[in-house]
Amino acid sequence: MDTSFQAPPLSIPEYILSSSGRTMPLLGFGTAVSPPVGPQVTKAAILEAIELGYRHFDTASLYGTEQPLGEAIVEAVSVGLIKSREELFITSKLWCSDAHGECVLPALHRSLENLRLEYLDLYLIHWPVSSKHGIYEFPIKQEDFLAMDFKAVWKAMEDCQRLGLTKSIGVSNFSCKKLADILAFSEIPPAVNQVELNPLWQQKKLREFCKANGILLTAYAPLGAQGTIWGSNRVLECEVLKKIAKEKGKSVAQICLRWGFEQGISILVKSFNRERMKSNLEIFNWSLSPDEVRMIDDIPQTRLCCGECYISEYGPFKTINELWDGEI
């Protein structure tokens, strides 16, 4: 395994991000809930997660969970679950309507205000497309899509890191080609690319590209995002994974998460159920056999999150193929 992996005082291993030297817990807790729940439910789940040992929390301006996450951090410190905010790794994301060079810094300031924080650990461009400024909605109206000025937006992201408002910067839902375009002109390269990744969509080409360029891949939907508008139970119902889980005495979810960890990626889990939150942490003291890894490697591949909501005759991506640059 990569020598930049190291074991922290907690049970969750960490990774040293290449462009900043900051350490990032390789298992994080996602806060995008579909359908949405109330802020008090979100806050209570985050406090429970901190109590169980989670230290990496992922939010976004679009999710509506920055404020309850910020409140949970304040309470966690006040009741002694953690000594200070510095024990946590907090990620948020720039929404498409703020993905304009002059709008990035104000958007980050708003996120920090919502979170009651002085800095983020990681700030990501949520999708590789812009939309009309000032309109915060999902799905985005077809006529509101705009081509992103990648140079202007990335320069503003770099400025955010230089100002210390975020310790690292990165992207989400970027293909190899779009990453290569950023790398061609960036002074601070992306530290992270957060994408859909699971045993049924293994992203082998993207994994190789990111590894070669020192970019950590972070997996969202590691279990298939069942219950979301685009998710599916295909991952958790996969017969190959069920067979491996039964033979090892583990859950299918644990097999998926362990597989991701062994691929050298970071993983975001999203469950507000305490038992599943605990179970998702129990993946670091056992391993998959070479035969089991080969069985998973051979699973037929299908993307779940095709990004249809970002396709528009008015915007830069008229087809799914254009959005992912053929990586479908």
DSSP bridge partners of 24: 15
Catalytic residue among 15, 63, 119, 220: 63
User: Where are the strands (E) in the chain, listed by range?
Assistant: 5-6, 14-16, 23-25, 27-30, 56-58, 89-94, 122-125, 130-131, 145-146, 169-172, 192-196, 216-220, 266-269
H or E element at residue 284: none
Residue pair 228/33 in contact (Cβ under 8 Å)? The answer is no
* 310 included as an active-site residue: no
Residue 201 forms beta bridges with which residues? 198
Taking residue 79's Cβ as centre, other Cβ atoms within 10 Å add up to: 11
Which residues are within 8 A (CB) of 74 and not within 5 positions of it... i.e. 6 or more apart?
116
Would you please indicate which residues are annotated as catalytic (active-site) residues?
A: 63
